[in-house]
Structure 1
Amino acid sequence: MSMLDIEDFGRVRLLKLNRPDALNAFSEALYDATAEALIDAAADPDVAVVVLTGNGRAFCAGTDLVEMGARNPGGGGVEPGVHGFGGMIDQMDSFPKPFIVAVNGLAVGVGATMLGFADLSFMSSEARLRCPFSSLGVAPEAASSYTFPLLLGRQQAMWTLLSAEWVSAEEAREMGLVWKVCPPEELMDTTMAHAQKLAALPVSSLMESKVLITHGWHDGVAAARERENAAFSRLMGAPANVEAIAAFMEKRPPDFTGM
């Protein structure tokens, strides 16, 4: 079974994260598969629009915490992917065609922060999202320290990124993180209908328009990612992160006393 299902509907390419038993959490292999799929779609003249969604009850539960724990001292290590997390975010940031995300279920970590790169986001009314970085002893990722304040405003972004609290679909819409909220049974039909409307237009016009709309965006994203990577390096494997991962594996609340 493929961990990323790929299907074309006319000029719309649908990418579906397919690790339902792991709530579509990103392993190194899934980061690589998604990056490669975006590279292929960008180069394919028959693809005008890409839609990304998840299979099962989750959209994406973030980075696989089992693999994250293995990166910590004594964890045994993880074989890095060809593209990895950073390479996938590179492709989302530079993707030249309309990129649409349909959040079908819970979205955690990168499952939430990747919405900063979506040109249009649709969300099931029963879905919710969470940025758990502080609860994992790390810091924001995927340029969310830059994209979220722009999309949500400073205080909404501050609370969403710092608190690790759940955000409902309606709250995400009110904040500006998603465009439309749909009943679960209508999510994909609504998303694909909008994707098909765009795909009926000239790809050259869609691409040139996206360049104009996102002009200046990429420099801010690059600078934010550099700052975030440095912060992540300082915090990954530090006591708070080790405790958070241990608590997750042991199915208990973390104890950050004195950290």
Structure 2
Amino acid sequence: MSLQVADADRVRTLTLDRPEALNAFDEALYDALADALLAAATDDTVAVVLLTGAGRAFCAGTDLHEMHRIATDPTFPRGRHGFPGLVDALDAFPKPLVVAVNGIGLGIGCTVLGFADLALMAADARLKCPFTSLGVAPEAASSYLLPLLVGRQNAAWLLLSSEWVSADEALGMGLVWRVCPPETLLEEAHRHAALLASRPLSSLVAVKRTVTEPRRAGVAAAREREGAAFAELMGGPANLEALAAFAQGRAPDFTALPPGW
């Protein structure tokens, strides 16, 4: 199983468990996490979901080996939910979502924070939105949610630079709520999740709905814009150079791209 599920104190902990791939999402893991969120949403024994990762990474984004196959093989089998279905499940999740970033977080491993109600981060963890280094566009409504969360210029740096952000930088810009020593991160995250879970479920759901409902139209519009841009760029010269460089273990060279790319 690439996703571990554990319940305690009305908190369901979902642990991404592909440590050999730094918990990168393949189609199977997208499906597994989407299914787990959908199940938790309708389970009255679950008041809060806590999301974290196994091993030294939180989530290394989309599995680039699989992305390369998808970009070059139109017959590659896709998941039942895939990436869009996971974002649907995150956007619609009606209960508090607590994220514990235990290690590196790239791509969706960073942009998922736009859907988190509380985010805690290990002091030695790092985050990156690698879209421009992959020759693609933002995803998971991050072009809308990140400016709301951290301000326009911080969001611009995250989305345009493809540079790492430290835990202290993430805390300073408001991308995460708390930074913890690595050895106490999960304990602290569960403690806060359990405190929330001790409140009435009906009230938790009502509070989250009143907070998130005003942004739904903006999220939907951003996803549509991002999807169109991603479809245009994926498989293009910049993206193929980035994926080939990754497969060959070298840095991408964008200097020889055709004009406009």
Band the TM-score falls in, shorter-chain normalisation: over 0.9
For 1:39 and 1:71, locate their aligned partners in 2 and report how far apart those are by CA, in whole Å: 26
Runs of 4+ in structure 1 displaced over 2 angstroms? 75-78
**Superposed displacement of residue 10, structure 1:** 2.3
SS at 2:137 equivalent: coil
Secondary structure of 2:213 counterpart: coil
Deviation digits for residues 36-62 of structure 1 (CA, Å, limit 9, x no counterpart): 000110010000000000000000000
Q: Structure 1 residue 252 and structure 2 residue 242: aligned?
A: no
Q: Distance in 1 between matches of 2:30 and 2:238?
A: 25
Name which of structure 1's ranges 208-217 and 226-235 shifts more when overlaid on structure 2.
208-217
- Select which of 215, 234, 254 maps to 2:232: 234
Give the letter for the 2:165 counterpart: V
- Provide the residue aligned with 1:214 in structure 2: 212
Distance 2:119 2:182 in 1: 14
Which structure 1 residue ranges, 5 or more long, are not aligned? none
1:25 aligns to 2:46 (yes or no): no
Say whether 1:153 aligns with 2:114: no
Instruction: Name the TM-score, length of structure 1 as normaliser.
Output: 0.98
2: CA distance, partners of 1:154 / 1:179: 18
One-letter code aligned to 2:125: A
Q: CA deviation at 1:253?
A: 1.1
- Tell me, in whole angstroms, the C-alpha distance in 1 between the residues paired with 2:41 and 2:95: 7
> Could you tell me which amino acid in structure 1 is paired with residue 3 of structure 2?
L
Paired AA for residue 251 in structure 1: G
The answer as to whether partners of 1:143 and 1:222 remain within 8 angstroms in 2 is yes
Seq. identity, % = 61
Match of 1:178 among 176, 191, 196: 176
CA drift of 1:215 comes to 2.4
Please give the alpha-carbon distance, in whole angstroms, between the structure 2 residues aligned to 1:71 and 1:41.
30
| In 2: Cα distance, 1:167 partner to 1:9 partner | 32
Q: State the Cα distance separating 1:77 from its structure 2 match.
A: 4.4
- Please, which of 172, 177, 200 is the counterpart of residue 198 of structure 2? 200
- The residue type equivalent to 1:94 in the other structure is A
Q: Which residue of the partner structure matches residue 48 of structure 2?
A: 49
Aligned position for 1:223: 221
1:225 and 1:76 mapped to 2: Cα distance?
22
Say whether the 8 Å CA contact 1:104–1:123 is kept in structure 2: yes
| RMSD (Å) for aligned C-alpha atoms | 0.9
